[in-house]
Amino acid sequence: MLYPIKLKPVFKDYIWGGRNLQKLGVILPRGKTAEAWEVSCHPDGLSMISNGMYTGLSLVDYISIMGKDALGTDLFNSEFVRFPLLLKLIDASDKLSVQVHPDDKYANDHENGELGKHEAWYIIEAKPGAQIIYHLIAGIDKNDFIESMNKSKIDQSLNYMNVFAGDVIDIYPGMIHSIGAGIVLAEIQQNSNITYRVYDYERIDKKGNKRALDIEKALDVIDFVPNNRKKKALGLDLRINAGAHKSVKLANKYFALEVYWVEGEVEEHTDGRKFYIYLFLEGDAVINYSNGRISVNAGESIFIPASMGMFKMIGNFKALKMYMPDLQSDIIAPLTVAGNTLEEIYSKVSG
Active-site residue list: 197
Contact 102, 116 (CB under 8 A): yes
Do 323 and 271 touch, CB atoms closer than 8 A? no
- Are 106 and 117 in contact by the 8 Å Cβ rule? The answer is no
> ∠ at Cα 248 (243, 249), nearest 5°?
125
The CA distances from residue 73 to 67, 79, 238, 270, 289, in Å, are: 9, 12, 26, 11, 21
- Return d(Cα 245, Cα 260) in angstroms, integer: 6
Closest CA to 324 of 263, 258, 269: 258
Cβ–Cβ < 8 Å for 327, 226: no
Q: How far apart are CA 135 and CA 260, in angstroms?
A: 29
Contact (CB, 8 A) for 227 and 135: yes
HSE at residue 311, side-chain half, CA atoms within 13 A, is 27
Contact present, 46 and 63 (Cβ < 8 Å): no
Dihedral sign for Cα atoms in the order 23, 52, 50, 326? negative
CA-based radius of gyration for the chain: 20
- Angle, alpha carbons 139-141-145 (nearest 5°): 110
Tell me the CA distances in angstroms from 283 to 244, 280, 296, one per residue in order: 14, 8, 9
Phi, psi of 165 (to 5 degrees): -55, 135
